[in-house]
Amino acid sequence: MNTPKTDWPSSLGDNELEELDQYLRAHVGEGDLLLDGVHGLLSALAVGPMRVLPEEWLPEVLHEPFKDESEGNRVLALLAKLNDSISAELDVDAYEPILGEVDTEAGPVLSAAGWCEGFSRGIDLRAGLWEKRLADDPSLMELLGPVMALAVDEGILNADAEFEKLSEEEYDECLGQVPMVLGAVNQYWHDHPVSEAEIEAAVKSTDDKEKEVPPPRHRSGHWVH
């Protein structure tokens, strides 16, 4: 029997989610992630090939000094709880992506754009490992299909070919598959862990890129810069 998400002890309650959302909105700059994006980022890290430490992902989330120690401790505690909740929810099939809203003529509708942007940035933090495995193993790309479809539809990824916009039904179907996708990708890396050779190649690739002048940020049909 699955534990309902609302009863899972490490999940943030509605008031905590609202508190974190308000903090992020009050300190957001152009291109910074809001709550849906932070959840996408942490979701990618939770199901990725290797652990990513907080000191690596926090700079993707926090961009201004805290006003005092109390605020810092509170925000960091909320982020830690959000991070911990993702793996816990995946374990009991209670994961749901945090989505944003966009205004339309018919009223506000849910959007996966922010979550997908965060997810892509989470993959970027271990880009070398993801890129090589996606190139070598089409099954991983296939597992990510629904998430990639959403990302292409929202303009987060530029596809190699032209795709028609998803219908409302197709969009909702892809959204509904996100928890299953994350569970499958998490299991994939558990069953097919990265090798020492892959790690060494990824480190070398990162070192080489740091020596180069970075190109303008652009995404192709894969989770890459």
Residue 224 located in a structural domain = no
DSSP the chain: -PPPGGG-TTSPPHHHHHHHHHHHHHT--TT---HHHHHHHHHHHHTSSS---HHHHGGGT--S--SSHHHHHHHHHHHHHHHHHHHHHHHTT------EEEEETTEEEEE-HHHHHHHHHHHHTTHHHHHHHHHH-HHHHHHTHHHHHHHHHTTSS--SS--PPPPHHHHHHHHHHHHHHHHHHHHHHHHSPPPHHHHHHHHHHHHHHHHSPPPPP---SSS--
Name the pTM for this structure: 0.87
In this prediction, residue 32 carries a pLDDT of 96
In this prediction, residue 5 carries a pLDDT of 42
- The CATH number of whichever domain residue 174 belongs to comes to 1.20.120
Residue 31 located in a structural domain = yes
In this prediction, residue 10 carries a pLDDT of 65
In this prediction, residue 159 carries a pLDDT of 72
Residue 217 located in a structural domain = no
In this prediction, residue 106 carries a pLDDT of 79
- Provide the domain limits for residue 167: 5-211
Residue 77 located in a structural domain = yes
Residue 203 located in a structural domain = yes
Residue 121 located in a structural domain = yes
Provide the residue type at 49 as one letter: P
Q: What backbone phi and psi angles, to 5 degrees, belong to 63?
A: -130, 0
Residue 220 located in a structural domain = no
How many residues make up the chain in this entry?
225
Domain count within the chain: 1
Rg (Cα) of the chain, in Å, rounded? 18
In this prediction, residue 208 carries a pLDDT of 67
In this prediction, residue 221 carries a pLDDT of 33
Residue 216 located in a structural domain = no
Question: For each of the chain's 225 residues, which pLDDT tens digit applies?
Answer: 444 444 444 689 999 999 999 999 999 999 999 999 999 999 999 999 999 999 999 999 999 999 999 999 999 999 999 999 999 999 999 999 999 998 888 788 899 999 999 999 999 999 999 999 999 999 999 999 999 999 999 999 887 767 789 999 999 999 999 999 999 999 999 999 999 999 998 888 776 666 564 544 433 333 332
